[in-house]
Chain A
Amino acid sequence: MIIDLLIPVILMLLVAISCGSLLGYAVKAFKTDENPLEDQINDLLPQTQCGQCGHPGCRPYAKAIAEGGPINRCPPGGEATISALAALLNVAFEPLDAEHGVEDIRRVAYIHEEECIGCTKCIQACPVDAILGAAKFMHTVIVQECTGCDLCIEPCPVDCIDMIPAKDELQRWNWQLPESLIITSDRRQQICQ
């Protein structure tokens, strides 16, 4: 009689112990050092390293988001980044926080070379080493590498750096969704208005 009662109890205990030890092992064996969520978020950010979000670079901002910070503070990423973040974190989409800047076309830094005095201050400021030059030699921006963070503007003692729109060439032209033709969606009509 007692045995009949004991058998299920023992069985349950065994199952519990084996599952528990399996979980315990898994925690140790598959332990991740870094926070993968932070990495995932960082991969979605545009990596301009501009600091407009109030954090010193994209990774710190990713860390802040991973810890529950607002997702709408990245002007270079714009709505696309916010919606990608919203999808990843399964939270509601929020419009870009205008306090941190507005979405703009891509711009790149341009050094007016005749004004440059070769102080290397902008070179030190550039987060992606996109400025070429040496002390007392003229500097120039490697356009392909420039993220448009405008961190080089401020350190320049002679104000010879401007942010100019990245060249909108023939090859960069793209088809846009046919807005005016849609009579079917309320949402789009509102946008048009």
Chain B
Amino acid sequence: MNQLIFPLKRGIHLPERKSISLQSPIIESKLPPQLFLPITQPHYEKAKVLVSVGDYVRQGQLLVKGNGLSGINIHSPSDGIISAIGPHPIANASQLPEITLTIDTLPSDKATFCQLDESLETLKSEHCFSPMDWRRATPAELIVRASECGLVGLGGAGFPTARKLQAALQDVHTLIINAAECEPYITADHALLLEHAEQVIRGIEILLEILPQAECLIGIEENKNEAIEVLHRALLNAENSRIALRIIPTLYPSGAEKQLIYILTGQEVRSGKLTIESGYLCHNVGTAFALQQAVESGKALTHRIVTVTGDAVSKPNNYRVAFGTPVEFLLNQAGVNLTKLSTLIHGGPLMGLEVTSHMVPVTSISNCFIAGTIEEFPPNPPARPCIRCSYCADVCPAGLLPQQLYWFSRSQEQDKARAHHLFDCIECGACAYVCPSHIPLVHYYRAAKADIRVADEKQQMANHSKERFEFHQQRLALEKQQEESRRAERARLASEHKKTSSDTRNDAQALIAAALARVKEKKEITNKQKNKDKD
């Protein structure tokens, strides 16, 4: 069964701490009084917000229309009233607020709602998609459905699924389903598999329907015994010969996209290339489930499974949560002890993000919230000098030399950092995890990457400006030349004109002179006659 695995050569073994959030089945989260939906988009300027403050919205109603396949459609997770559109904190490294739709949810009591606006009831049918028979549908129809339902990758990147599928239509030969979930604490995918393995497999079958020439490999870490079992059973029932389950060794970061492809196929995606360009399409199990829901039940993506865990909550578990639910509300459901809570992490402990505002909402990329105590996440001691012990190089899954990258990042030697493949760093944090000097290595790499990107942008801008300036100069020169030639032309015309006009003037003068002469002559004649007369 478990043939053909290419284990990672480098990585780290971590204390898993997964069992604490797997005590009971997924709990349906309550609906918070307010939902905060950030209008996260790849291209903000092209997205359209379809509602305004004061509007009533129904569950499943389209709120934000993304731009085509690469935009993200956002639907309302609940009935309610749009109470505000404006900046609100979200889980991001910059801690800058993002434009967010605030929905005051209405009591689930339907009668109350209907009293508010009867006409809305008629609208309801518009906000549901009809179930599709995917075995008869064309790939294009399925992709459109994924786009309509606002599907995005639920693994962490939040990339629009439809866009990814569209790109994959060309020449993807292997579909990789990521169930590795290699970070400690997180069990969202595990819990999803335990309860919805059948649907996940159907989601994969839909993906294979879109990619008729592809084979599918599911990668799951061997520490998830129960999930492996249910997947096995679901696969037996599905009887799809194109799907194979591969159990991989537990080693962080096996779940990183390119690393997982290597483990499952032995092929390395070329440095700097996208996985799709190399013929691999990676999707998270959560995304497969969402696709199945979108296609078979016509449900837009408005909820996800979130692991709420850590020692500061008394009921760590997986919750099915509406997008936009503030983390505070979620933590309260899980029985948070605010006095014990010291670090709140969005995501896993290795790659996640520390969250400072408790009003941060659950979004499509929120797979986990860890409410950690000070004992769980003790503050880092001050960094000591790097002693080049190269423990970091021993664990780097990308085969980099983190200690060298650290020197180059620190001294801002961008060319050298680039030459040492800084951009192949996946920021998994294994190096900083083992660093005996407690150097925040990933932080340095992020800063260096940002610096290089900014410098590149500046250089591009400069090149562009240079081109435009040179064009501007050329244009001016050309205009001047044209002006010059026009003037020359005018001068020539003018001089010709002058010549002709001077001729005519001469004629006129001659005429005048002749006339004068004639007058004179006449005068003389008359004078003479007068004189004669006098005489």
Give A residues with C-beta under 8 Å from B. 42-43, 45-49, 57-58, 80, 126-130, 145, 147, 170, 173-178, 181-185
Contacts and interface: CB of A to CB of B under 8 A. Distances in A.
B385 A184 contact: yes
6 contacts: A43-B462, A45-B462, A80-B455, A147-B461, A177-B443, A183-B382
A174 B450 contact: yes
B98 A170 contact: yes
Contact of A177 (B92, B444, B458, B475): B444
Contacts of B440: 178, 181
Contacts of A175: 93, 443, 446-447, 449-450
B93 A42 contact: no
Contact of B468 (A46, A129, A178, A182): A129
A181 B447 contact: no
A76 to B, nearest CB: 9
Contacts of A47: 461-463, 465-466, 469
Contacts of A145: 464-465, 468
| B interface SS class | helix
Contacts of B273: none
B224 interface: no
A177 B417 CA distance: 14
A48 B465 contact: yes
Contacts of A46: 458, 461-462, 465
**In the A-B complex, the 7 residue pairs with the closest CB atoms:** A174-B450, A173-B94, A175-B446, A47-B465, A128-B468, A47-B466, A47-B462
A127 B447 contact: no
Interface string B286-328: 0000000000000000000000000000000000000000000
B490 interface: no
A102 to B, nearest CB: 18
A182 B440 CA distance: 10
A129 B465 CA distance: 10
Contacts of B450: 174-176
Interface in B2-28: none
Given A47-B462, A127-B469, A174 B454 contact: yes
- The interface size bin for chain B is 20 to 34
Interface string B242-259: 000000000000000000
Nearest to A176: B447
A130 B468 CA distance: 9
B472 interface: yes
Interface string B466-477: 101101100100
Contact of B444 (A48, A49, A174, A178): A178
Interface in B222-270: none
A49 B465 contact: yes
A127 B96 CA distance: 35
A47 B463 CA distance: 7
B412 to A, nearest CB: 8
Contacts, number: 81
Contacts of B384: 183-184
A165 B443 CA distance: 27
A177 B407 CA distance: 12
A177 B449 CA distance: 11
A57 B469 contact: yes
A42 B462 CA distance: 10
B127 interface: no
B410 interface: yes
A33 B510 CA distance: 63
B508 interface: no
B409 interface: yes
Given A170-B92, A170-B98, A184-B385, A177 B465 contact: no
B462 A178 contact: no
A8 B136 CA distance: 92
Contacts of A174: 447, 450-451, 453-454
Contacts of A178: 383, 440, 443-444, 447
Interface string B62-106: 000000000000000000000000000000111010100000000
A177 B463 CA distance: 27
B445 to A, nearest CB: 9
A173 B332 CA distance: 32
B444 to A, nearest CB: 7
A8 to B, nearest CB: 48
Contacts of B451: 174
B93 A127 contact: no
Contacts of B92: 170
Contact of B96 (A45, A130, A170): A170
Contacts of B461: 46-47, 147
A150 to B, nearest CB: 14
Contacts of B464: 145
B383 A129 contact: no
A183 B443 CA distance: 16
B321 to A, nearest CB: 24
A127 B383 contact: no
B410 A128 contact: no
Contact of B469 (A49, A80, A184): A49
Contacts of B383: 178, 181-184
Given A177-B409, A181-B382, 8 more contacts: A47-B463, A57-B469, A128-B469, A128-B472, A129-B471, A177-B444, A178-B383, A178-B444
A104 to B, nearest CB: 14
A15 B235 CA distance: 81
A62 to B, nearest CB: 11
Contacts of A170: 92, 94, 96, 98
A182 B380 CA distance: 13
A143 to B, nearest CB: 12
B465 A147 contact: yes
B96, B450, B462, B464: which has the most chain A beta carbons within 10 Å?
A: B462
